[in-house]
Amino acid sequence: MPGRVPAVTVPIYQLKVTLKGSQPPIWRRIQLLSDTRLGKLHRILQVVMGWSDYHLHQFIVGQTYYGVPDPDFEMDVRSERTVPLSRVLLAPKAKLIYEYDFGDSWEHELLLEKVLDPDPTVRYPTCLAGKRACPPEDCGGIWGFAEFLEAIASPDHEEHERMLEWSGGSFNPEAFDLHEVNRRFATIR
């Protein structure tokens, strides 16, 4: 028997998350509480995109960076733990950047599409739609991903077998499992 949906009283943000540079676009549409802290948003994005949280990340709003401050880095990074999404996305059409894995530099554009009243029958966050599979971790950024796709698509490619083995034997670039994403959202605190 499913659990009761907690009462929600804050506005709901509908975001479109697009992996920048992906062609055709890799994207997700999600709804979440507007008071979600950026630290929790990071965990939500890891699930919705299919990343494994192996690498550093940051949010970029204009010239301001949010993430996990580290005294060993010289960059001025504000703590993501205390900043709600509603403080950095003020109105529909506002955007921010989520960068994951500073080596591969996966940049995601987060576009605030709508501000909605909460639906008492919905447990937030929820994913409404999405297209295409997330690239495998450590494949070399958007350019490495393009090379990876080229190699696995062509049995005659010199890297075909090695790339298939590296990726676990298969990779379907069109795959996206909406139900699995929403099932995994239940684990986010």
- Give residue 73's pLDDT band: very low, low, confident or very high (50, 70, 90): confident
pLDDT of 6 strictly over 80: no
What pLDDT does 117 receive?
Answer: 97
Q: What is the domain count for the chain? A: 2
Q: Are residues 35 and 121 in the same domain?
A: yes
Question: Where residue 70 falls among pLDDT bands split at 50, 70, 90?
Answer: confident
**Confidence class for position 123, pLDDT limits 50, 70, 90:** very high
Long-range contacts of 58-61 (CB under 8 A, 24+ apart): 58/98, 58/99, 58/102, 59/88, 59/96, 59/97, 59/98, 59/99, 60/96, 60/97, 60/98, 60/99, 61/88, 61/96, 61/97
For residue 69, the enclosing domain spans 12-133+175-185
| Model confidence, pTM | 0.92
Q: Is residue 55 part of a domain?
A: yes
Assign residue 95 the CATH number of its domain.
3.10.290.30
Q: Tell whether 30 is covered by a domain.
A: yes
Cis peptide before 125 (omega within 30 of 0): yes
